[in-house]
Structure 1
Amino acid sequence: MSTPTMDDAAKVLADPTAYADDARLHTALTHLRANNPVAWVDNPPYRPFWAITKHADIMAIERDNELFISEPRPLLSTAAADDYAKAQLDAGMGLRTLIHMDDPHHRKVRAIGSDWFRPKAMRDLKVRVDELAKRYVDQMRDMGPECDFVTDVAVQFPLYVIMSLLGLPEEDYGRMHMLTQEMFGGDDDEYKRGTTPEEQMAVLLDFFGYFAQLTAARREKPTGDLASAIANGRIDGEPMSEVDTMSYYVIVAAAGHDTTKDAISGGLHALIENPGELDRLRADPSLMGTAVEEMIRWSTPVKEFMRTATADTTVRGVDIAKGDSVYLAYVSGNRDEEIFDDPFRFDVGRDPNKHVAFGYGVHFCLGAALARMEMNSLFTELVSRWDSIELAGTPELSATTFVGGLKHLPIRYSLR
């Protein structure tokens, strides 16, 4: 096997603060794509891994889900957090969501909620989503002429949609959002509950405590919502395990709104920073579909997933040993010069747009259609009603190696 090549630029991938600094992150990723697209990263407190920064390599690894599997390291976390998570799972606790699983178990668990996100379900939901989009734009107008778009709108709209789909009471929405911030914001000073794995595990236990009560209620009396489908889900004729059941709720409730929040806020920021593209979209609303895809590419809420090689192999001529971890840098893949014409240009009409923001292959995002529909509804309402919009302060990105985006976007606007 070849000796791993060290490249200081790749260390940013194992530095949560780098994701709060677009210029720093993209400078490093541009260098890696050109000079070291399969880069060895050894940056404690994280265990070493190979950083995969080219779109084609990311896609190839995603496609080969037998050679590259999710377990035991589906995402980047510290060695201490990895060890603690494994110990918890060995003890029958911890988190094991769809992103942690491999086929055939992954496919069976995924099927429990998949009908809720199919095209027919989205068509049935669209009227309600359009109504909610109008409600939140009305609220935005009424609170004007300034707001923090992230906390006042981008969080609230998708949170309401996914909580309604689950069938949770509205008074619990705020609690779900707070726990989501603490879980995905474990590296961010504004959001994290603590610094140790035990303190961060407490967030998960709060989630589990809530959903354990919900499961008992939905098993006793199903109510025809997504929470009831999860509570009564069966694998090979047997009830889903408690770990898998609790974890299913967590991934739907948390990722089901937080990633969309990041794409919505990142999309609005891009429109403000590119007024020509905003004018183009206002003049031609038929571009909304491609505009939404471009917002998703531009913001890339899920920064990475990781896979582990099940056998010795090579990627772009670099030897990858059995048991080695590879880091799929979606942020880099979505700015790959070989795939995207002028990738650092925000283009509401970009077509084709082969972004990897939703992943690819068997782990393609379960809620992708819902996220697209929510964004289409909200921006259709927004673009048709604003007379002016500009920044009213400095946008702030969250520090994270996994899921994140803007945490504050102060804007000044006029809405009809």
Structure 2
Amino acid sequence: MRQYCDIPKDKGLDNTINILKEGYLFIPNRMNLFNSNIFETHIMAQKAICITGKDAAKVFYNEDLFKRKGVAPKRIQKTLFGENAIQGKDGIAHIKRKSLFMNILTEEYEEKVDRLVKEELIKSIDKWEQMEEVILFREISQIICYVVCNCVGIYISREASKKRTEDFLRMIYSFSSVGSKYRKGKEARKETEKWIENIVVNLRNNKIEVEKDSPIYKIAFYKDVDNKLLDSKMAAIEIINIIRPIIAVSTYVVFAALALHTHPECREKLIKKEDNYYEMFAQEVRRFYPFTPFIAAKTKKDFRWGKYEFEKGRLVLLDVYGTNHDSEVWHEPYKFKPERFKERNEDLFDFIPQGGGNPAITHRCPGEGVTVKIMESVLDFLINDIDFKVRNQDLSYNLKQIPTLPKSGFIISNVKRKYSN
């Protein structure tokens, strides 16, 4: 007698179009329909299994069961990740490459980026006071791009960072698009890779100098598992994989501003800095608002998970948005409540806005520390350093759009510097 259960099956020959139509809710919608934490569907002309929840994340990040090589679609590699980059590595190759990123994204580096972002925010006040309206997403993105490029060892001016910011944002916001928006994302990726590759070549040929402990130097002269330098294009791609995710923090910053605006009851606690409330607030923003919808891998071998069987070579999607809203883990998951993080026991698999597991050995993003620091600093700036008004605007965000953002980019006006007594 068979000892396993059939996985609930989604209707339709291929549901790739439905992902584009439903976005972040594609997997949660079907989990609710089947009253299950698993279902089978067809995506990109292949069978796929979708899973959600803490236990699902645990099995998904078992490196003995899943691989990432060859999983990310080319359209994502050609815009967001870069082709054949760290996101598609497995085993020793991944761990060694990940050690490079962990060596760069240290607490010291996080604090440096955070300190410089704070300084740039203060410097921006004079300019913002003269502006009729400040689109927070645009301004914060440019500040972060300027700071991170210079911290990496790519020295650019504030003016030059404006153009570079647009290119990085096109990479981030085009991978799920079609038509001209997607083409612009590919073009931005190619141009940015060429720009940074040229810097790498000049650095290796001693035509420019940077500090030896800078990220660009570490990557330019890093030796991979074959004990050889990365080719100059791959070095450029991995440098971008340091810069781009930190610029993407501007998305969380805008959602933090939205949360501050729509939950004014939190402001007083932030002003008083009660009970590490800044961190609790930032973490709840990362849990509550949409960032990564789901992530993909393929099974390395046949195995059983609970009462279900997985075949070797099966595409599997882990529901990130749904796991962060799982009612079995989070009480009232669709309510914004920073206090839920006050006495929360740390878990590597139930809170996965930037991936799950140990960041040193799994595909979890190693930049969560700098993400939270920047969010806290911008919140502190908005509360304690400036006064401003939030005019009527479209602050809605569309869960059918991946990635998503408040439509207006969060506009503030009548910015005035606060002076301490």
Structure 1 and Structure 2 fold alike (TM over 0.5): yes
Counterpart of 2:69? 71
Counterpart of 2:60? 61
Q: Is the aligned partner of 1:173 residue 2:140?
A: no
Counterpart of 2:379? 379
Q: Is the 8 A contact 2:136 2:409 kept in 1?
A: yes
Counterpart of 1:392? 392
Structure 2 distance, partners of 1:359, 1:114, is: 15
Counterpart of 2:19? 15
Counterpart of 1:52? 51
Q: Deviations over 1:120-162 (max 9, x none)?
A: 3334554323212323455444435x43222233x22322232
Q: Is the 8 A contact 1:150 1:406 kept in 2?
A: no
Q: Is the 8 A contact 1:297 1:357 kept in 2?
A: yes
2:149 to 139, 153, 163: 163
* CA 8–284 in structure 1, closer or farther in 2 if over 3 Å, else same: farther
* CA 306–382 in structure 1, closer or farther in 2 if over 3 Å, else same: same
Counterpart of 1:249? 239
The 4+ residue runs of structure 1 with deviation greater than 6 A are 398-402
Tell me the SS of whatever aligns to 1:394.
Answer: coil
| Counterpart residue identity of residue 392, structure 2 | A
Pairing 1:13-412 to 2, within 5 Å after superposition: 15-19=19-23, 28=29, 31=32, 35-43=35-43, 45=44, 47-62=46-61, 64-74=62-72, 77=73, 81=75, 95-136=83-124, 139-143=127-131, 146-153=133-140, 155-168=141-154, 169-170=156-157, 171-184=159-172, 185-188=174-177, 192-194=181-183, 201-219=186-204, 220=206, 221-224=208-211, 225-236=214-225, 237-258=227-248, 260-284=249-273, 286-351=276-341, 352=344, 354-361=350-357, 362-387=362-387, 389-390=389-390, 392-395=392-395, 397=397, 403-406=403-406, 408-412=408-412
Q: CA deviation at 1:3?
A: 5.4
Stretches of structure 2 lacking an aligned partner (at least 5 in a row) = none
Q: Deviations over 1:95-138 (max 9, x none)?
A: 12221111211111122232221123334554323212323455
Tell me the SS of whatever aligns to 2:134.
Answer: strand
Q: CA deviation at 1:413?
A: 5.0
Q: Is the 8 A contact 1:98 1:110 kept in 2?
A: yes
Stretches of structure 1 lacking an aligned partner (at least 5 in a row) = 86-93
Q: Is the 8 A contact 1:149 1:409 kept in 2?
A: yes
| Counterpart residue identity of residue 352, structure 2 | V
| Counterpart residue identity of residue 156, structure 1 | Q
Structure 1 distance, partners of 2:380, 2:17, is: 35
Query: What do you get for the CA RMSD once the two structures are aligned?
Result: 3.3
Structure 2 distance, partners of 1:281, 1:349, is: 12
Structure 1 distance, partners of 2:180, 2:366, is: 26
Q: Is the 8 A contact 2:31 2:37 kept in 1?
A: no
Tell me the SS of whatever aligns to 1:370.
Answer: helix
Structure 2 distance, partners of 1:189, 1:273, is: 32
Structure 2 distance, partners of 1:164, 1:204, is: 19
Q: Deviations over 1:202-222 (max 9, x none)?
A: 443223211220111221244
* CA 179–126 in structure 1, closer or farther in 2 if over 3 Å, else same: closer
Structure 2 distance, partners of 1:377, 1:383, is: 10
| Counterpart residue identity of residue 10, structure 2 | D
| Counterpart residue identity of residue 353, structure 2 | A
Structure 2 distance, partners of 1:191, 1:397, is: 22
TM-score scaled by structure 2? 0.81
Q: Deviations over 1:266-305 (max 9, x none)?
A: 1211222222223432343541011111111123422222
Structure 2 distance, partners of 1:52, 1:172, is: 43
Q: Is the 8 A contact 1:14 1:401 kept in 2?
A: no
Choose 1 or 2 for highest CA Rg.
Answer: 2
Equivalent pairs, count: 390
Q: Is the 8 A contact 1:294 1:348 kept in 2?
A: yes
Tell me the SS of whatever aligns to 1:343.
Answer: coil
Structure 2 distance, partners of 1:98, 1:400, is: 28
Counterpart of 1:89? none
| Counterpart residue identity of residue 32, structure 2 | H
Tell me the SS of whatever aligns to 2:240.
Answer: helix
Q: Is the 8 A contact 1:290 1:348 kept in 2?
A: yes
Identity %: 14
| Counterpart residue identity of residue 7, structure 1 | D
| Counterpart residue identity of residue 289, structure 2 | S
Q: Deviations over 1:65-93 (max 9, x none)?
A: 1211111214xx4xx748x97xxxxxxxx
Counterpart of 1:91? none
Structure 2 distance, partners of 1:314, 1:243, is: 40
* CA 49–243 in structure 1, closer or farther in 2 if over 3 Å, else same: farther
Q: Is the 8 A contact 1:95 1:243 kept in 2?
A: no
